[in-house]
Each structure stands twice: as C-alpha cells, then as structure tokens.
Amino acid sequence: MDLFEKCYQPSLAKQARELGIYPYFHALESRQDKEVMMEGKRRIMLGSNNYLGLTTHPAVIEAGVKAFEQYGSGCSGSRFLNGTLEMHLELEAELAAFLHKEAVVTFSTGFQSNLGIISALVGRSDYVICDKENHASIYDGCKLSYGKMLRYDHNDMADLERQLQKVPQTAGCLVVTDGVFSMGGDIADLPTIVKLAKQYGARVMVDDAHGLGVIGEGGRGTASYFGLEDEVDIYMGTFSKSLASLGGYMAASADVADYVRHASRPFIFSASIPPACCAVALTALRILEAHPELPVRLAELSAYARKGYLDRGLKIRMSETPIIPIYTYEAENTLRKAKEIYEAGVYVNPVLPPATPPGECLLRTSYMASLNEALLDEAMDIIAGVMA
C-alpha cells in the first residue's frame, strides 16, 4: 500500500474547499491588533490570544528591535550548549518571582513545554491523569513519556477520583489539567483537583497558557485565582498569548526545574528562544507587573461581550474568561457562519471535532484588553445579524 494513500482520500478540508467555506490560513496584512487588515479588508479581531493587546505596545516593539540589533537573529544552539543568553536567565528569574515559584525553565514554544515537562517527569512505571478537554500538547507529552495515561471526563471530579483509585500506591502520578480551557473558556475545578491529588499522593500540573495575564491576582493565573499557589506543583505557560512573544515555560521548585533541565529532550535538543522573542516576553511581563489594571480591563470587556451576546439572543457557553464560545452545532453550519461573519468584517475561529464533541461545534471568540465597547458593539451586531 502506498504510504501517501491517506493524503488522497476525501476529507473535511477538501469538502470545505469545494463548498467555498474553507476557514483556515487567512493572511494578515497588518499587525496583530484589535483591528486588522486581512485579505484586503478591515476586520475586527475577535479570534486572537493577544489577551493584553501587547503585540503593538511601543515598549514591546522597541525591546524586540534592540535585542535583534544587539544579539542578532538567533543563538544557533540549545540552552544546554551555546544558546543561553544572560537575558534568558533574567526572564526566568523575573517570571519565577512573579509566579511565586522557586525556578522557571523556558522552552522554545508552548507546545514543546508540555512535551518537555511531562515526558521528563513521567517515567515508565508512573501514571499521568488528564482532563479529556486538555490541550493537544498535553496529550502528546503523555505519549512521549513512558508512563500510563488515564483520562477523566471534563471537570468531573468524581471521575478523576475513579482514575486516581486505579493508580498503584507504588507508582508516581501526575494530574495535568488546563487552567483555563482553550475552547470552552471555563476554569478547572482546581480546589477539588488539589484536594484529591493530596489524598491519593499525586502531584498537580496546571497548563496556564490561557490563564497567565487573564485571571488571578495581577494576572498570575489559575492557582492565584483560587489562592492555591503553594498547592500546585508545576505551572506551564506560554509567551505567545498575554506576553506577546513566542516560547513557553515551566515554573516549579528548584529541584524539579533542575531535573527537567537535564532530562527533557525537547529542552536539550531545541534551539533556545531567539533574542528578540526573549526581550519581548521580558518587557511584556514587566508591563503586566506594572499595570495590574490590564487583566481587570480585560475582564470588564469580556463581561460586556457576554452580556451583549445574551441581550442579542445568542446562545453562548458561560465563563469568567475572555474566551466566549457561540454554539453553532454542526460542522457545515459552523463553517458557513464563520465565512459570513468574516466577509462582514469580523474574524472569529470555527471549532470542529475533534476539538469539540460531534454536534457541539462552535465559534470561538476571544477578547483583548485593547478593545473598546464601540468595537465590541459593532462586532456583536454583525455576528448577531449572521446568526439570526
């Protein structure tokens, strides 16, 4: 059989192209901002993870330019060898202090962070337990490890306990959950997760890619939101969302961080974060620290949008975060609505299986602190008109 046979088979992507409703790879012609030029037309951006709106902040841009001029385009090596800049260490130290953890390890991408953390810590005789709606990078990290993976129904704490009961007392166990779930925008039941993990002798890791800069005191994330910073063993996060850059990190105790630095293949064998990306993340972190009102403004605008959708008669999934899904149910309907909204001047993200269960497709909208009520009203009127 030809290895490429699968490439020639019918697919949803091919069908969507034939129907003229293929939604991916729209090309930006401007900065990632609250309003963008995309394929020749102004669009209101309701599909970005640039939660604090820092991608266009003058200080962020200046920091990237200066780092590029000072250090060049890259380090051409891994952190383990020739790829560590003093600025990498500075970023790790300041982020650790911000998150109230002893140490931080930075990775080249957020996806690699989950791969690198889980595969390093979960060994052949260990178990890792995942929420079924965790990010794909968590699942791939579990596959890369030699441990046994168990899954529990989304945010179902009774099912989590059932999975914990399957773990032998002689085995190590890591419970991994998204803090803020990337598609639904809901928040993990972290208090119960921590309680159950303690009861059964497991460790807890929170993927806070969509929590940093969004919830918690000063934007410190999910553990801070629940007052559980000392109870969560590992935070993972990204620089590509609230911190307007590229890369990822693990925050943990000094011993755990040191172990991962010397055992994580994605860390050891990947080139380090480019200087400009490092400088941008560090500057964005300092802006977040200096302006705790940014997450507050983000929360206000998100609440305004939720009320606006409900007032316009749309069915949304309720949350307390800047991720607001609008239900569209079936795949073809979702793609058609996304195209109509896009053509009318608003960018949103269609979400289809396997990212959602069949029959529960949705339009994922997400918000930035740099938006304003007038733009939101314009966008919501457009979306409501298409969904009517």
| Tokens 């102004």 -> residue | 42
Helix (H/G/I), strand (E/B), else coil: 338? helix
Sign of the CA dihedral with 361 first, then 225, 292, and 89 last: negative
Return the domain boundaries, the chain.
Answer: 5-51+292-387, 58-290
**Angle at the Cα of 123 (from 117 to 125), degrees rounded to 5?**
150
Specify the pLDDT at position 206: 98
Inter-residue contact 346 to 275 (CB < 8 Å): no
CATH topology of domain 58-290: Aspartate Aminotransferase; domain 2 (3.40.640)
The rounded distance, in Å, linking the Cα atoms of 349 and 157 is 30
Specify the pLDDT at position 228: 98
Question: What are the residues whose beta carbons fall under 8 Å from the beta carbon of 130, sequence distance 6 or more?
Answer: 138, 139, 142, 149, 150, 151, 152, 176, 177
pTM comes to 0.96
List active site positions. 182, 210, 241
Phi, psi of 255 (to 5 degrees): -70, -45
CATH of region 5-51+292-387: 3.90.1150.10
pLDDT tens, position by position, for the chain (388 residues)?
899 999 999 999 999 999 999 999 999 999 999 999 999 999 999 999 999 999 999 999 999 999 999 999 999 999 999 999 999 999 999 999 999 999 999 999 999 999 999 999 999 999 999 999 999 999 999 999 999 999 999 999 999 999 999 999 999 999 999 999 999 999 999 999 999 999 999 999 999 999 999 999 999 999 999 999 999 999 999 999 999 999 999 999 999 999 999 999 999 999 999 999 999 999 999 999 999 999 999 999 999 999 999 999 999 988 899 999 999 999 999 999 999 999 999 999 999 988 888 898 999 999 999 999 999 999 999 999 999 8
Specify the pLDDT at position 93: 98
Specify the pLDDT at position 356: 84
Q: CA dist 385 to 41, 350, 379, Å?
A: 19, 17, 10
Reported as type and span, the H/E element at residue 151 is strand 148-152
Residue 354: is the preceding peptide bond cis (ω within 30°)?
yes
Q: Which candidate, 48, 52, 100, 115, places its Cα nearest to that of 364?
A: 48
